[in-house]
Amino acid sequence: MVGVFRRSLSFPNKINPSRPSKPPISHHIRSISLPCRSHPLISLLKDHITQLKSWSSNKPQQPTSAWLCDGLTRLKDLHDSLHDLLDLPQTQDSLRNRNQWVETLLEDFLRLVDVYGIFQTSVLALKEEQSAAQVDIRRRDDSKVALYLKSRRKIAREMLNLVSTIRCISAKNYPDSVTAFIVSIGDAELAAVISDVVEATVMVSVALFNGIYGAFGWRKTSWRLVERLYSKKAKRVTAAEGIQELQLVGEESLWGLRKKGDEEVRIVLSKMLELEECIRGIENESERVMRSLITTRVSLLNILTNYIN
């Protein structure tokens, strides 16, 4: 009897109030330790996002290619830092058991990669049309120059399609999809910063596509038609929002070349060369962004694959 009594006395000692708190505390410490609020990569990502927001708010009255390329460079740096964060074993541990949210991110990054792939194809076609047009301008072949102008309008319409596609990513209700992911302060911060990266990517991409549409868009476009085809809340894009350098050669300057003097044609050709250089710069920076997007998606895919295996 005494032995039993002593065992019953020892039981309260095992449930000392100071002890039951240790298991949950140790669990939460492990959960928020990496990435935690003080982790330098998290802080670096937040700095990049803040700088991109400042870049967007300091948009010049009319966007320039230098301003746009600066935004693309900052976006590339942002995704490079995100890739570094995703490569941390502790980050992978945090995401590995949240495969549903990782799958959502994979879908969004696939859409982003596809959008930039289409953009690269469009820019390559524009460069080819640009080179051919310079020959046609020297020959003063009005009919072929008209085809060049038609190709610019086609590219402008493609930019509208890309804006419509990428805005679907921005419209996603990330808070709902992240709810099941958040189990600690560290997880919440990780989820928030990744969501902010996606939003920043959408922001810069929309500025890029709208900048090209504003420069090359057909002025006779019916905005009622655009709103019906692409979005009920479609934002009107005007020539003032088009990239300044892409408007060096307006449609009016390419009409009636046979009636223009040699000096007028020479000026047009000089501006076409400047336009070509501007397009090349945008192409290079956007390609770097696309490569970073691919790298980030591969990192996410590896996390999901490791979880399945």
- pLDDT for 173 equals 44
> Residue 253 and residue 62: Cα distance in Å, rounded?
20
User: Which amino acid does the sequence have at 48?
Assistant: H
Looking at residue 147, its pLDDT comes to 92
pLDDT at 25: 39
pTM: predicted TM-score of the whole model, two decimal places: 0.79
pLDDT of residue 157: 92
d(CA 273, CA 269): 6
Give the mean model confidence (pLDDT) for residues 93-119. Answer: 89
| Sign for the pseudo-dihedral over CA of 134, 135, 141, 147 | negative
The predicted pLDDT at position 66 comes to 95
pLDDT at 305: 81
10 Å CB burial of residue 279 (0-12, 13-18, 19+) is buried
Region 224-236: what's the mean pLDDT?
Answer: 50
Q: What is the DSSP secondary structure assignment for residue 61, as one 8-state letter? A: S
Higher pLDDT among residues 143 and 94, named by residue: 143
- Taking only the tens place, the pLDDT of each residue in 13-55 is 444 444 444 444 334 333 434 444 457 889 999 999 999 999 9
- 183 against 144, higher pLDDT: 144
CA separation for the pair 288, 291 (Å, rounded):
5
DSSP E strands, 58-166: none
pLDDT exceeds cutoff 80 at 2: no
Tell me the average pLDDT across 287-297: 96
pLDDT greater than 70 at residue 262: yes
Chain centroid, CA 264 distance in Å:
40
What pLDDT, on a 0 to 100 scale, did the predictor assign at position 252?
84
Confidence of residue 203 (pLDDT cuts 50, 70, 90): very high
pLDDT at position 13 = 45
